[in-house]
A and B are shown apart, each in its own frame.
Chain A
């Protein structure tokens, strides 16, 4: 399966998850967006050596994933497969930051490893929250929410059109790509073939855009995209946003794991 087909499959599967009627889907999308942004800001506001202190925050994406009846394995796989820049950069931390920070008896862990662990936790939390947001909301509803939250319509219309035609153009690109591969005896594509191939795809994209424009005009398009879609904010959404924000604030201000650890170990260190 080509990269394009795999990517389109990802889009499809996340959208399929979002299309189901779950407790998460029933929440107003604006509430979910606001809460997720608050979450991300909370996570990144910790200092670089925070690891355990971040952990209580994991409850947010977990709870939402459960509310949305989201399957754990595919989402976790997405998380793990995203070999991100952040991890590669983070790997330098243990190399550069070698002062001991934690001590367990005779063994010590350098500060660099602690900050690297922090980077890993941040990555898991922030990216996990984004995935949960999209898998529990869906592209269309998300864009309506963004418009209601003040994002210019030019941008949200662009997102929706991009999403709509990603499948069509992606399928065209996949076909053209496969057709070339079948005639290439395993050789990678040379620039001499790349220019014309993508050039052709690009020209067809232009022609398609022209036809879509005609279809829009034929049904009365005057430059303004109108929609009947409404979002209904309820008390449940207010409780959702306020409740989670309070939790984030608590976790940010109080190092809960330290407290718990000390309590469990007794009063003396």
Chain B
């Protein structure tokens, strides 16, 4: 799933752009240094291929639904991680610009979740060790499937972290994760199937195209043990990062409760949904200390004053909002009429 501007805060969006921008800069420089001018048309054409391929659906076996290729892993296999990142970024950019997919600020997060993670995590750390020399069809299929699932799980984690850190959505971290991970498990399986199907075909028809651009020198194959160690380290780092992000963030509900009643919890408020969410939180959260409701975490974030819950302000807000809309539309109409008079058509 694509991250969207509507769920982002400037800090998180900016941070993701910095991360993706740095990755893109490194990959761009790498490609310039390699100086393979065949890549210029090849990357463009393969980007167009992925763009088109994403719109061709196939039936997922044993279900009634259909799926399609994402392309990150396939591109890494065909082009190596650096070129693949640039290509994925270009496809995502076209989607953001022309197809209302996410937004310009979220593009940085999407390039990270759907580009950096598959190309620099899933491909070198999962696909390459599992696929080996790509001679065995079974190993290729298994490697593609596993790498796709892992890559998309990490991508889903990325989305959740970014959304929770931004604080626009009210979904608490563990609930959000519990929603996203299973969905992306399914998407990962689909991606694995699609990628494997294509890679296996290419392996039979033109095996020279696989791994030709694989950077054997820059990304040495890892033994399963170091793969495990790397994944474990990544998990610990991610755990640390998310507890930093997650704990100072009050849930929207707690925040409102604190403002409205001066208490950090409303003991009496115990209707169905609340109780369910509380139980779900207690059972699902694997970060100790992130409880619901938490004890008094009510730091302010953002610099605008929260409107106090009072009737006068609410009404003023509503009236003002309507007035603003009227003014904006009126100005727009005036502008259009003026433009029509200047350039008669």
Chains A and B touch (C-beta atoms under 8 A apart):
yes
B150 to chain A, nearest CB (A): 21
* Contact yes or no, A14 B98, CB < 8 A: yes
Binds A, one of B57-65, B126-134, B235-243: B57-65
Q: Which residues on A are within 8 Å of B, measured CB to CB?
A: 2-4, 7, 10-11, 14, 23, 36-37, 40-41, 43-53, 55-56, 58-59, 62-63, 66-67, 69, 78-79, 81-82, 84-87, 89-90, 92-93, 95-105, 109, 111-112, 115, 118-120, 122-123, 126-127, 129-131, 133-134, 139, 142, 152, 154-155, 157-166, 168-170, 172-174, 177, 187-191, 193-203, 205-206, 208-210, 212-213, 216, 221-223, 225, 255-262, 264-265, 269
- Check: B227 CB closer than 8 A to any chain A CB: no
* Contact yes or no, B7 A56, CB < 8 A: no
Nearest residue (CB) in B for A37 is B104
* Contact yes or no, B100 A84, CB < 8 A: yes
B285 to chain A, nearest CB (A): 15
Q: Which residues on B are within 8 Å of A, measured CB to CB?
A: 1-10, 13-14, 24-25, 27-29, 31-32, 35, 37-38, 40-49, 51-53, 55-59, 61, 66, 69, 86-87, 89-91, 93-94, 96-105, 163, 166-172, 175-176, 193-194, 197-198, 200-202, 205-206, 209, 251-253, 256-257, 259-260, 273-274, 277, 301-302, 304, 306-307, 309-321, 323-325, 327-329, 331-332, 335-336, 339
A43, A134, A166: residue with the most chain B Cβ atoms closer than 10 Å: A166
B152 to chain A, nearest CB (A): 14
Instruction: Name B's interface SS.
Output: helix
Which chain A residues lie closer than 8 Å to B42 at the CB level?
206, 209, 213
Given A4-B55, A62-B332, A161-B45, does the pair A118, B168 have CB atoms closer than 8 Å?
yes
What is the CA–CA distance of A161 and B93 in the complex, to the nearest angstrom? Answer: 13
A67 to chain B, nearest CB (A): 7
What is the CA–CA distance of A87 and B2 in the complex, to the nearest angstrom? Answer: 12
* Contact yes or no, A62 B328, CB < 8 A: yes
Contact of A130 among B6, B91, B100, B259 (CB under 8 A): B100
What is the CA–CA distance of A162 and B59 in the complex, to the nearest angstrom? Answer: 27
A188 to chain B, nearest CB (A): 4
